Structure 1
Amino acid sequence: MNTPIAFIIFKRPHTTEKVFEIIRQAKPPKLFVIADGPRSDRPDEAEKCEATRAIIEKVDWDCQVLKNYSSINLGCAKRVSSGLDWVFNNVEEAIILEDDCIPHPSFFPFCEELLEKYRHDTRIGSITGQNVQFGRERTNYSYYFSRYNHCWGWATWKRAWQYFDFQMQLWSEVKEKNLLEDILQSTEAVNYWHNILQSTYEGKIDSWALRWTLACWLQSSLCIISNLNLVSNVGFDQEGTHTLSKKSKFANIPAEEMSFPLKHPPFLLQNRQADIFTQRTLYSKPLIVSLKKKVKQMINVG
């Protein structure tokens, strides 16, 4: 393996250990570790953060380990985005994993091959191993193209990340000119994304991923999505930030093995059928409700 991995951790040593073991098998030459600090009002969190960071000390292969550890709690949006800024100030491309996303080992060569193939193709903004089609194979090829840039195990380039804007400075213009209509071409989708992006802009939702989605849309970037699910999110519990319900149908979807050589599609077009399904399942009103409940919980605890 030649591609650096960026590993985002916080306070969950039990899931971090599982992801770390898969990374250890892949043996990346360079490992960037991004860690948030404990919250001052959670007395047990400092110990959990320390136990999680201790796992990184188990690196036992030829690897340059670079650490970006925050002593204070920055929150999900600022910690991840500032951490990725740091990563892409150092390298041109990276594979990115969070501490609750366990990939199949074939996820790494899948990302690596496509990072190289589309390195200079600005139509592509990211690559992901997360597939939420629940067994529906949308293509006869190894992957398809989507307007949704899933982030449970993904990869991107510095050339794409440069457009990330934490402040969402163009959001006012997007609203004023109804640009979501042009992007999404669906009243249902426009209403959903307008509400959730507005809540993010107002600071009611602590998400870097929603800001990243908007940045990609504003560059007309597509995401490569594997035709099989290559990453299992095991973080659906009370320790999660946005993934609280163990009963979610998106929890613990098994990670499958990608076959090689990859079958590359001879065209580059959005798979609308897959995206409509994703919009109506993953991106639906219940998700907005759950995110708002989480924000209220955080406020009440504070």
Structure 2
Amino acid sequence: MSKILAPIVLFTYNRPLHTQQILNSLAENLEAKDSILYIFCDGTKENVDADGLFKINKVRDICKNENRFKKVIITYQNKNKGLANSIIDGVTQVVNSYGKVIVLEDDLILSKFFLSYMNDALDRYETNLSVGQIGSCNFFACGKKYPNYFFVPLPDCLGWATWKDRWRFFNSNVDELKEKLENNESKKNIFNAYGSYNFTEMLEQQKEGKVDSWAIRWQAVCVLNGWLTLYPNPSMTNHIESEEATHANLNIIPPISIKKPNFNTIDVNEIDLVIKAFKLGYSGKGNYFGKEKRKYKKERIKKIVKLFIPPIVFVLWRKIFK
């Protein structure tokens, strides 16, 4: 692994407990003491109440007292930029200075081997322009059945990394992205996780101002450029469930890496076994181990049985096996 470690960018706002948790788990990584950490603290919204202001100031106090890294550089925003603009601007600023970047939001818990994995992968695939991003949250293909590393066509926003020459293609213009996807059915199918999730609807919501997501636009950029994202097995991050989350409150807690990975270079292509689990995962029908969830499996079996046996027999069968 290169001795030049990638800078880490952390985005925070008004969740003190989350901020402290991610800083603690990040600091447990051996590379933390030699890494530069950039923290972007978003500003207050209009008409913020006393409790909201207290939480924002508490987050800033936590960040100001952080000293477990080689250097901590904090940006305090005077006004609220929102998550999407904060990430787009912050990532652009740091990656343009260093050529590579590791990106975190405050609602993650990390493996203590997260930085080792990220820095190794950034160095290992830096010159392979088929790789657009390094991902870390594997919620669909964990376990011995799958390889230690693999590539899939959609990027990860739950702890990720990329390079300056890839990020420069980021496009915030939703109309342009939608038009390009609509004109390429193959790319559009990939963008929608091979038909297992309707991300096109989310892109439309972005256009209508119903959501404000940098990630859906970055996903479109990655797909349109034909880039793949590297994922580890098991996962290197977990998502903290939060009722305070602006855009998501889904708790994603796949098995997380507890032992140092063995790093190796793999071919940059898709593996059928992984893609099958990938589609199950994005459809919501699969678990972290690429297996169909029990309730969906039972529904599928019932449909098959109903096609081939008389109705009265099916009723009796359903009562027996319900």
Question: Same fold per TM (> 0.5)?
Answer: yes
DSSP 3-state at the match of 1:90: helix
Query: Does 1:238 pair with 2:243?
Result: yes
Whichever residue aligns with residue 252 of structure 2, its letter is A
Measured after TM superposition, the shift of residue 189 of structure 1 is: 2.2
Once the 2 structures are TM-superposed, how far is the Cα of residue 278 of structure 1 from its aligned partner?
2.9
* Structure 1: distance between partners of 2:228 and 2:53: 39
CA shift, 1:151, in A, is 1.4
Count matched residues: 275
1:75-94 matched pairs, under 5 angstroms? 75-94=82-101
1:280 aligns with 2:287: no
Superposed displacement of residue 201, structure 1: 2.1
Matching of residue 51 in structure 1 with residue 52 in structure 2: no
* 1:77 CA displacement: 1.3
Instruction: Tell me how far 1:261 sits from its aligned partner.
Output: 2.3
**Contact 1:129–1:230 (CA<8 Å) still a contact in 2?**
yes
Query: Do residues 157 (structure 1) and 163 (structure 2) align?
Result: yes
Distance 1:172 1:22 in 2: 38
Report deviation, 1:188. Answer: 7.0
Q: Answer yes or no: is the 8 Å Cα contact 1:132–1:278 preserved in 2.
A: yes
Tell me how far 1:157 sits from its aligned partner: 1.0
2-structure distance, mates of 1:282, 1:91: 40
Q: 1:201 to 1:7 in 2, by over 3 A?
A: same
Distance 1:175 1:115 in 2: 28
1-side partners of 2:226 and 2:9: how far apart? 25
The aligned residue for residue 214 of structure 2 is 208
Q: Which amino acid aligns with 1:16?
A: T
1:24 Cα deviation after fit: 2.5
Name the structure 1 match of 2:140. 133
Q: How many Å apart are 1:33 and its aligned residue?
A: 1.0
State the structure with more CA Rg.
Answer: 2
Distance 2:70 2:25 in 1: 15
Equivalent residue, structure 1, for 2:179: 173
**Residue 17 of structure 2: aligned partner:** 14
Residue of structure 1 equivalent to 2:262: 261
Q: Which runs of 5+ in 1 are unaligned?
A: 284-302
Given the alignment, which residue of 137, 147, 169 partners 2:153? 147
Contact 2:151–2:229 under 8 Å retained in 1: yes
Deviation at 1:39, TM superposition (A): 1.6
Within 1, Cα distance between the matches of 2:214 and 2:285? 17
The answer to whether the 8 Å contact 2:99/2:163 transfers is yes
- Percent identical among aligned pairs is 24
CA distance in structure 2 between the partners assigned to 1:174 and 1:183 by the alignment: 9
| Whole-angstrom distance in 2 between the partners of 1:257 and 1:36 | 32
Provide the rounded CA distance (Å) in 1 between the counterparts of 2:248 and 2:145.
26
- TM-score, normalisation: structure 2: 0.77
Q: Is the 8 A contact 1:107 1:258 kept in 2?
A: no
RMSD of aligned residue pairs (Cα, Å): 2.5
Amino acid across the alignment from 1:233:
H
Residue from 235, 238, 249 that aligns with 1:229: 235
Q: Residue 201 of structure 1: SS of its match in structure 2? A: helix
Per the alignment, in what secondary structure is the counterpart of residue 97 of structure 2? Answer: coil
Q: Distance in 1 between matches of 2:262 and 2:83?
A: 36
In 1, the alpha carbon distance for the partners of 2:212 and 2:228 equals 24
**What one-letter code is carried by the residue in structure 1 that aligns with 2:45?**
R
- CA positional deviation for 1:9: 0.8
Cα distance change, pair 108–29 in 1 and its aligned pair in 2 (3 A):
closer
In structure 1, what is the Cα distance between the partners aligned to 2:100 and 2:82?
24
Structure 2 spans left out of the alignment, 5+ residues: 287-322
Are the equivalent residues in 1 in contact too, given 2:193–2:282 (CA < 8 A)? no
